[in-house]
């Protein structure tokens, strides 16, 4: 146990129960790690270390006194700053909200605390969580532990960077266009976008079918552990589903499962390294006993971008636009650009109804595939990450030698916010030559959570990944 900051949560719980490890020892190791690496990584927007150590001492007594410890008893959990905690800052990564304090606590955080998890830190986001990278005027640049010149992705970039740098054992995220899966892919971690309604979301975005709260971790079992705590109906979220559906404890049996392997969802630009790593995951699943067949999905990324930003233009964009109108001078250029771009696209395409029609056409080939296959695998991104601190407002992103019209064309994630009832698990697929991890999306049939975790666990068993970056 010489590398406690990277100890899997499931293993930590076993050691807590056998009294071979104390929650205080683990919390101290994680805090010491944060003190050492945070000056470089900058993943934590708020440190709650003193309170966390006191709670770890209480957890230590829970194990020592022979009671029944709760599911997350004593584990350090980093909460995405977007998820409010009553009495604590609620700043949305923005100078405009620098003095705001939350009056309520997010249901996800409530459930973690009720399960014995210790919120020892909160993690950075881009301003209003409206970007696929993580930096802001309020918190500065969050860097990727695998390569400090790169971003960990966004918007749950702080959570991904905290897991990769050993400053959290578990972490929360949220996903409206890939905001769990992009940072998970970029940081070599596991991230889960549950199907719509599986995990409660706060109003009014609980009514936005693009929006999902989910779990992030370094292993598939740890991700399932946290997911099983945060799942289930909530009285303040009419879209939250009952009954709660839990991931099974025993994972990894894929014998006979039919898996569609899509090297590309259509015409996305995919760097050769990512293509090779995705193919290696398909091969690993064949080795694990699945029937894997290569397929063509046939989507056009321009159509997906139009549908996505038409949707953003109806809900998410106006929410940012309200702040732009009042505090424009204090905001990041990317937040201002997001509000304007989503409004422009929505106006050009014909608004929300036209967007729904586009979304239906985009889902059709996916639904047909998932009628024949148990799951679909495809790359999470087309390139291994974005440069740290770059806003991609004036600068164009080039992938596979092609200049993209908008940097978000480099991800293949928004397709499955459109197909929001599909569960999607990102697992690491390998590394690129720049040292950055790469990821693959495992897409399940609507509300079939368990299958994507079985497939993820099989990949992890056959093709295990490294937890600790050499850069730190």
In the residue annotation, 80 being an active-site residue is answered as yes
Cis peptide before 117 (omega within 30 of 0): no
90 membership: H or E segment, kind and range? none
Please say if 346 is a catalytic residue. Answer: no
- The answer to whether 167 and 38 have CB atoms below 8 angstroms apart is yes
Q: DSSP state, 396?
A: P
Helix (H, G, I), strand (E, B) or coil at 67: coil
Report long-range pairs for 55-62 (Cβ below 8 Å, ≥24 apart): 55/118, 56/22, 56/23, 56/24, 56/26, 56/27, 56/28, 56/118, 57/23, 57/24, 59/16, 59/23, 59/116, 59/118, 60/22, 60/23, 60/24, 62/116
- Annotated active-site residue 193? The verdict is no
Residue written as token pair 């996903």: 175
CA pair distance 83, 107, nearest whole angstrom: 9
Judged by DSSP in three states, 448 sits in coil
Q: Which of 136, 155, 159, 165 is catalytic?
A: 155
**Residue of 22, 80, 193, 346 marked catalytic:** 80
Tokens of 220: 């598939």
**Edge-to-edge, what's the strand order for the sheet holding 44-47?**
44-47, 118-123, 76-80, 170-175, 212-217, 190-193, 424-431, 437-444, 375-379, 258-261, 291-294
- Rg of the chain's alpha carbons, rounded to an integer? 21
- Burial of 255: CB neighbours in 10 Å, binned 0-12, 13-18, 19+: exposed
Instruction: List phi, psi (to 5°) of 133.
Output: -140, 175
Instruction: Quickly tell me which residue has 């650009």 as its tokens.
Output: 337
321 SS3 class: helix
Pairing of strands 190-193, 424-431: antiparallel
Q: Provide the CA 82 distance to its chain's centre, in angstroms.
A: 13
Dihedral over alpha carbons 27, 173, 190, 116 (to 10 degrees) = 40
Check 92, 159, 179, 342 and give the catalytic one: 179
Residues 6+ apart with CB under 8 A from 170: 9, 72, 75, 76, 77, 78, 117, 163, 215, 216, 217, 222, 225, 226
Looking at the annotation, which residues are catalytic? Answer: 80, 155, 179
């Amino acid at each position: 146990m010489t590398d406690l900051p990277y100890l899997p949560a499931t293993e930590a719980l076993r050691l807590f129960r056998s009294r071979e490890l104390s929650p205080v020892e683990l919390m101290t190791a994680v805090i010491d790690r944060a003190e050492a690496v945070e000056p470089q990584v900058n993943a934590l927007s708020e440190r709650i270390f003193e309170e966390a150590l006191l709670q770890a001492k209480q957890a230590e007594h829970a194990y020592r006194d022979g009671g029944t410890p709760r599911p997350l008893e004593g584990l350090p959990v980093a909460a995405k700053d977007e998820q409010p905690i009553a009495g604590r800052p609620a700043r949305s990564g923005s100078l405009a909200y620098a003095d705001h304090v939350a009056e309520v606590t997010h249901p996800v955080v409530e459930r973690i605390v009720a399960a014995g998890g210790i919120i020892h830190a909160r993690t950075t986001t881009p301003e209003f969580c409206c970007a696929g990278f993580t930096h802001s005027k309020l918190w500065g640049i969050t860097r990727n532990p695998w390569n400090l010149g790169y971003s960990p992705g966004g918007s749950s970039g702080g959570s991904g960077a905290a897991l990769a740098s050993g400053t959290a054992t578990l972490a929360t995220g949220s996903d409206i266009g890939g905001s769990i899966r992009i940072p998970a892919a970029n940081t070599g971690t596991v991230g889960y976008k549950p199907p719509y309604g599986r995990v409660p979301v706060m109003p009014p975005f609980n009514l936005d079918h693009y929006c999902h709260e989910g779990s992030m971790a370094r292993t598939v079992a740890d991700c399932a552990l946290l997911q099983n705590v945060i799942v289930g109906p909530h009285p303040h979220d009419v879209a939250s589903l009952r009954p709660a559906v839990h991931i099974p404890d025993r994972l990894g049996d894929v014998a006979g499962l039919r898996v569609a392997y899509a090297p590309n969802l259509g015409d996305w630009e995919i760097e050769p390294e990512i293509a090779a790593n995705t193919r290696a995951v398909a091969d690993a699943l064949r080795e694990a006993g699945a029937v894997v067949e290569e397929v063509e999905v046939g989507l056009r990324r321009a159509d997906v971008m139009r549908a996505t930003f038409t949707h953003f233009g109806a809900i998410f964009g106006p929410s940012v636009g309200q702040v732009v109108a009042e505090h424009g001078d204090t905001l990041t250029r990317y937040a201002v650009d997001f509000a304007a771009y989503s409004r422009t696209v929505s106006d050009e395409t014909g608004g929300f109804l036209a967007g729904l029609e586009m979304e239906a056409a985009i889902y059709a080939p996916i639904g047909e595939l998932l009628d024949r296959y148990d799951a679909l695998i495809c790359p999470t991104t087309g390139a291994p990450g974005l440069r740290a601190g770059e806003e991609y407002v004036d600068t164009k992103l080039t992938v596979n030698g092609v200049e993209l019209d908008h940097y978000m064309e480099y991800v293949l994630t928004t397709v499955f916010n459109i197909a929001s009832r599909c569960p999607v698990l990102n697992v690491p697929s390998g590394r690129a030559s720049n040292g950055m991890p790469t990821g693959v999306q495992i897409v399940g049939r609507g509300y079939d959570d368990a299958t994507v975790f079985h497939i993820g666990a099989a990949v992890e068993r056959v093709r295990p990944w490294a937890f600790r970056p050499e850069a730190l």
